[in-house]
Amino acid sequence: MGAIKHGKEIGAIIVIVTLLYIYSAVAAAWAAMADDLRLALTMVFFVWILNWARKNLGSPRLAILYALVLAYIVFFKHPEAVWLVLGIIILAVVGPKFFAGLDTSGPKKDPLLDALKDAKPMITIPVTPPPGYYPYPYYGYMPGTQQNNKK
């Protein structure tokens, strides 16, 4: 009986240890992937900024220095900015095609809305009369009326 008594606790401990092991393995894989992703994004960002700086600054040495400093600040001083830069890169690549496909003329006319525009709503609210009140057509039998008082 003692072994059965502790069996549930041992099973729960085994499940918890297994889940923690799986979580740690997934977390380690994600951390390794995040580091690789950060390095790849750093290189893409560096090349992108280098091309921009080369065109706008004129000097290739100044462009390299500018791109190095900017990549260092964005990716190593503020690592949370990686996702912002990834979003900007995706928006720069996919954005023009996406926004060109949007219809900017506004909403189209809906014939159903035109048909419903002239319709008048019909709302019926059920009202329960108070006790002792006789609604139409029984006005003559209302308490306190002259017909009841003629006795």
Query: How many structural domains compose the chain?
Result: 1
On the question of a cis peptide bond just before residue 126, with omega within 30 degrees of 0, the verdict is no
| Residue 85 to residue 42: CA distance in whole angstroms | 9
- pLDDT tens, residue by residue, 3-15: 566 777 888 888 8
User: 43 lies in which domain range?
Assistant: 8-103
Q: Considering the domain boundaries, does residue 98 fall inside one?
A: yes
Q: How high is the pLDDT of residue 49?
A: 86
| Collapsed DSSP state (helix, strand, coil) of residue 133 | coil
Confidence label for 138 from pLDDT (cuts 50, 70 and 90): low
pTM score above 0.75: no
pLDDT of residue 77: 83
Examine the pLDDT at 61 and tell me if it is beyond 60.
yes
For 138, the token pair is 């029984």
Do the domain assignments include residue 77? Answer: yes
The answer to whether residue 41 is domain-embedded is yes
Q: 125 in a domain, yes or no?
A: no
55 within some domain:
yes
Express each pLDDT in 114-128 by its tens digit.
777 777 777 777 767
Residue 78, in any domain of the structure: yes
Instruction: For residue 59, tell me if it sits in a domain.
Output: yes
Whether 71 maps to a domain, the answer reads: yes
